Every structure is written in C-alpha cells, then in structure tokens.
Amino acid sequence: MMVSKKTLAVAAMALSVVFLLVAPFLFKPYGVFILSTWVVMTIAAIGLNLTLGYAGQVSLAQAAFVGIGSYITAYLTTRGWPFWSTYMLAGTSCFIVGWLLGYPALRVQHHYLAFVTLAFNTLVYLIFRNEEWLTRGIYGIMNIPRPEVLGWSMAKPIPFYYFLLAHLALISAATWALIQSPWGRAFIAVRENPIRALSLGVDTRRYTLMAFALGAGLGGISGSLYAALVQFIDPTPFALGLSLNLLLMVIVGGSGYFFGPFLGAVVAVLLPEWLRFAQGYYLMGYAALVMLLMIFCPTGLLGFADRLLTPKAKSDSGPNPVLPDSAAPQKAAG
C-alpha cells in the first residue's frame, strides 16, 4: 500500500511535468501568462510553506517580500542593472529583512505573530505607495526588461515561461534537499513541540529566524521574477490581499506537504480563471469552494489525499487509534 502511494505520487508528478512542458503549445498567450503567474506564485508559496508549514511560524507578510523583490528588480533593471544582479539582490535583501522580522517570532506566537507580520506588510505597502521619489508611487514603474540567458532573449512569452519553469525546478530541488536534511527535521521538531526541541538542545532560535529568512528570500526571488513577468508594477498587488492569498495557497494545498504550494497555487491562480465563465458569480463560487474544502479537509488537499490513501491498519500496533494531538498532517516517507 505504501508502494502504491509512492507510485501514485510519482505518476502524478510525471504527468504534471509533461503537462507543464507542453502547455505553451496548448494555450493562447493569455493562458501562458496565467501559467507563468502560477509558477511565480508557487515559488512565493514554497517560501511561505517553509516558514509556516515546516517551521510553524505564521506570517502574513509574504506579499511584502514579493513586493520588495519586485521593486528591487524593477528599479534597478530600468536603470540598466543586469537582471541577475537584481535577482540576487532581491533574494538576499529579503533574506536579511526576513531574518529581522523573525525576531518578534521569538517572543510572540500564533495570532500575535500574525498581527506583527500583518503590520509589517501594511508598512511596506505604504512605503511602496507613498515614497514616490523611490517607487514612483501609484504611477508605478514601467518597461521592466526581461533577461537574457547565454545571449538568448527571454522577452517573448513562451521562452520566458520556460525560464520561469527552470527556476521553479531548481528551487523545488533545493527546497527538497533542505527538507530532507537535518535542517528540515529541526524545522519539523520546532513546529511539533518547541519546548521538546529545546530540551534536546535544538537551537530553536536559530531555526525560527532561518525559517523566516528562507521563506522571505524565496518571496523576494518570486517578486524579482514577477517584475520581469508583468513588466509594469505598482503597489496594488502587494497589499495584504496577496499575503492572505499566499496563506490560502499553503493551507489549501496542504501546509507542511512538499507539493502543497504547487496544488494550492493551482486553486488560487488557475481555478479563478477557469471559473470565469460564471461571470459575476465566479468569486462567490470560488469562495464557497474554498470554504467547503476547509471544512471537509482542514489539512488541505494533500492531507485529504494522504488520508484516503493511507490504509487504516494502525489498529495492529495496539489499542490506541491515536491521531497526533494537533491537526498536523501525518506524513509518510516523501
């Protein structure tokens, strides 16, 4: 049964990869644009899944990091800096700011932490909107160029889509390696029981800060790519709404599951597009769907799938049909 679960996961992944590779030939340019947006948002959600899903730290500030990354790339590439330098700068700046934002998390948790990060997001948004000398405020920054790779222009939608896809592949591989390393285990230990982790000598402080920093760094990278994708940015997309949306992606997909953000971003980015035929009602339908999903599978889509596919053979290990004390997902190998 474990094998078939793994086989299923591998098959689903292989199909998804094939789909993503041939997709540009199946869709009109608008479809390619939406898929590109999915890639960018998935990267930001992978970051938030590290912070929230693996390390258990609530953050409502992910949009702020996407915004900071976007503005760094927008501001600098329109002044002649090469894309790659702005990309690195976006990632490292957000990593540092995320590290600093982690300090409150050492003192407060849960809804208090949510409010601290929410306030941070609002602050950053106000800077984008009001500091016109730096960000051009509501006029935004136009004509953001797309990069070249080894002399090949990524300006056209399809090459740029593959460019983004390559990023997603690399970032996924790096994140996977991190999660499978002792670091990933330490994150999970800190989330499951911080006091217990502390009693074993886990440096909970360092891992908490690192969870914020890594999540923010991926937010910044996602923002840098976003700027090059849309080629025009203003403050609007980086308001609290996007932070909530990214949170939704992580939770709907399955918080703490590696593929949760991928699936969550499908729900948050692609589903609204598919529901557009319903015109004025599509947002209502979408909201209703998300509510139903959360009522019937609070551990997200992957948590739900995990439950369906895991044989209920636990009873042979004793008379305690235990579930973990929290609603945290039970993960099998991989």
Partner 1 sequence: MATDDILTLEDVVGGYGKQTILNGLSFGVRRGAITTVIGPNGAGKSTAFKAVFGILAVKAGRILFDGQEITNRPPRQLIADGICYVPQGRNIFSELSVAHNLELGAAAAPPDFPLKQRMEAAMDRFPVLRKKAGQQASTLSGGEQKMLEIARGLMLDPKLMLIDEPSIGLSPILVGELFDLLRDMRSRGITVLMIEQNAKRALENSDYGVVLELGRTRIQDRAEKILADPRIAQLFLGGGLEPAPA
Q: Is 3 in the site for partner 1 (CB under 8 A)?
A: no
Residue closer to partner 1, measured from CB, 56 or 217: 56
Q: Is 311 in the site for partner 1 (CB under 8 A)?
A: no
Cα–Cα distance measured from residue 59 to residue 70, given in angstroms and rounded to the nearest whole number: 19
CB of 332 to partner 1, least distance (A): 7
Partner residues linked to 152 by β-bridges: 149
Q: Is 322 in the site for partner 1 (CB under 8 A)?
A: yes
Q: Is 6 in the site for partner 1 (CB under 8 A)?
A: no
Q: Is 302 in the site for partner 1 (CB under 8 A)?
A: no
Residues 194-253 contacting partner 1, CB under 8 A: 195-203
Quote the tokens at residue 277: 């035929």
Q: Is 333 in the site for partner 1 (CB under 8 A)?
A: yes
Biggest distance spanned by C-alpha atoms of the chain: 68
Q: What is the DSSP letter of 144?
A: P
Q: By the 8 A CB rule, do 42 and 267 touch?
A: no
Backbone Cα Rg of the chain: 20
Length of the chain (residues): 334
CB of 194 to partner 1, least distance (A): 11
* From candidates 58, 63, 94, 189, binder to partner 1 by CB under 8 A: 189
Continuous segment of H or E residues that includes residue 109: none
Residue closer to partner 1, measured from CB, 165 or 189: 189
Residue closer to partner 1, measured from CB, 64 or 250: 250
Stretches 123-131, 184-192, 223-231, 294-302: which one binds partner 1 (CB under 8 A)?
184-192
Stretches 87-95, 159-167, 277-285, 318-326: which one binds partner 1 (CB under 8 A)?
318-326
Stretches 72-80, 185-193, 276-284, 290-298: which one binds partner 1 (CB under 8 A)?
185-193
Q: Is 1 in the site for partner 1 (CB under 8 A)?
A: no
Q: Is 298 in the site for partner 1 (CB under 8 A)?
A: no
Q: Is 307 in the site for partner 1 (CB under 8 A)?
A: no
* From candidates 29, 182, 285, 298, binder to partner 1 by CB under 8 A: 182
CB of 37 to partner 1, least distance (A): 32
Closest CA to 289 of 268, 309, 303, 263: 268
Helix ranges (H only) for 181-297 are: 182-192, 194-199, 204-230, 240-253, 260-265, 271-274, 282-296
CB of 325 to partner 1, least distance (A): 8
Q: How many helices (H) and strands (E) does the chain have?
A: 15, 2
Partner residues linked to 75 by β-bridges: none
Quote the tokens at residue 91: 């990632």
Q: What are phi and psi of 152, to 5 degrees?
A: -90, 130
Q: By the 8 A CB rule, do 221 and 41 touch?
A: no
Quote the tokens at residue 259: 């593929």
Kindly tell me the burial class for residue 86, based on how many C-beta atoms sit within 10 Å of its own C-beta (0-12, 13-18, 19 or more): buried
Residue closer to partner 1, measured from CB, 199 or 279: 199
User: Which residues of the shown chain bind partner 1 in the complex (CB under 8 A)?
Assistant: 182, 185-186, 188-189, 192-193, 195-203, 314, 317-318, 322, 324, 328-333
